[in-house]
């Protein structure tokens, strides 16, 4: 598994948020992406949501926030917040400065992300006991320039870590 450890400054994302159950998330999250981008077409220049999507690169990140208990979590379709108006049904989330384990991922979405994420916890974490998870988030990063259906599409999974 190809990874690097990177120190990242604090940053804030803006996005659309929805709660998911652990058991249905792999099926339901791709539907959520479809709902958001069909509801707010980027060609609608007068829509405040489409404006926020364009100006903040919403779609660059998928953010899992595991703070709702054992069976549910929050998921954000997000982009790096550039400032400006936050529409009423969108949220901001700030990540503190942290070290992150960044796992490169190659292949079509969502299959590539679905494959690597469990491997991080079942293979990488046990093989690297010198690291602990620092927080309750996982970030999926998506390359805005690539074709998400291509075999060589590049994405990544980011996990905040600390050195024990």
Cβ count near 153 (within 10 Å): 17
Kindly state which CATH superfamily the domain 3-163 is placed in.
Regulatory factor, effector binding domain (3.20.80.10)
Whole-prediction pTM: 0.92
Give all strands (DSSP E) within 1-153, no chain letters: 3-8, 11-21, 61-65, 72-80, 91-95, 98-106, 131-133, 137-142
Select the more confidently predicted residue: 45 or 9: 9
**Domain coordinates of the chain in residue numbers?**
3-163
pLDDT at 44 over 70: no
The dihedral sign for the CA sequence 128, 124, 137, 146: positive
Which pLDDT tens digit goes with each residue over 53-87? 989 999 999 999 999 988 999 999 999 999 998 99
pLDDT at 45 over 90: no
Structure tokens at 124: 């990488």
pLDDT at 99 over 90: yes
């Amino acid at each position: 598994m190809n990874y690097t450890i990177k120190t990242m400054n604090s940053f804030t994302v803006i996005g659309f948020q929805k709660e998911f159950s652990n058991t249905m998330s792999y099926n339901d999250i791709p539907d959520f992406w479809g709902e958001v981008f069909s509801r707010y077409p980027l060609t609608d220049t007068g829509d405040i949501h489409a404006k926020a999507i364009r100006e903040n690169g919403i779609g660059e990140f998928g953010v899992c926030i595991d703070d709702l208990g054992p069976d549910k979590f929050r998921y954000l379709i997000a982009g790096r917040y550039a400032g400006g108006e936050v529409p009423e049904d969108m949220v901001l989330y700030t990540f503190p400065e942290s070290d992150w384990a960044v796992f490169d991922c190659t292949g079509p979405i969502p299959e590539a992300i679905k494959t690597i994420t469990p491997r991080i916890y079942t293979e990488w974490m046990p093989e690297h006991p010198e690291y602990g998870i620092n927080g309750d988030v996982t970030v999926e990063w998506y390359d805005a320039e690539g074709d998400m259906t291509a075999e060589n599409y590049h994405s990544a999974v980011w996990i905040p870590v600390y050195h024990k």
